[in-house]
Structure 1
């Protein structure tokens, strides 16, 4: 089951090394603030595939799904369910 703490830890490790995970707000706009760019989105998607077994060929990959920790968590939960249903 996806959770915000694991997502925050990944984002901080990959994109915000000087920010403690606890200080990353769940609704901080990662795209608008330039934390994640198009290559960064690919990293996030690959991590979600590996971490949660999400098959991205079976889900809609809209940029809004990666705008914040909360959005990523919601996407991962929905996509994990969609992948499980397809199996």
Structure 2
């Protein structure tokens, strides 16, 4: 999972400042657990746009794609594939 550490560091820095990134599991439910709310979701999406050059107008923004670190990483992979196919 090449992006997992960067995702964890962002989540911890923005939403869980008292928790070490290593304690955040790849499959922890960030939405159900209340870590990320609707405004937080917008912050995550903006970060993904900036960090990974993702055009959110070209991808499906299903909340399930942001449920966990693993789901966010899969979203990055799908968005990168979509961008490559469009090029």
TM range (shorter): over 0.9
Deviation (angstroms), 1:85: 2.1
> In the alignment, what sits opposite 1:74?
74
> In the alignment, what sits opposite 1:41?
41
Larger mean CA deviation between 41-50 and 77-86 belongs to 77-86
Q: Between Structure 1 and Structure 2, how many residues are aligned?
A: 87
State the 4+ residue runs in structure 1 displaced beyond 4 angstroms: none
Larger mean CA deviation between 13-22 and 75-84 belongs to 75-84
Where in structure 1 are there 5+ consecutive unaligned residues? none
TM-score of the pair, normalised by structure 1: 0.95
> In the alignment, what sits opposite 1:25?
25
TM-score of the pair, normalised by structure 2: 0.95
Q: Is the 8 A contact 1:2 1:76 kept in 2?
A: no
Where in structure 2 are there 5+ consecutive unaligned residues? none
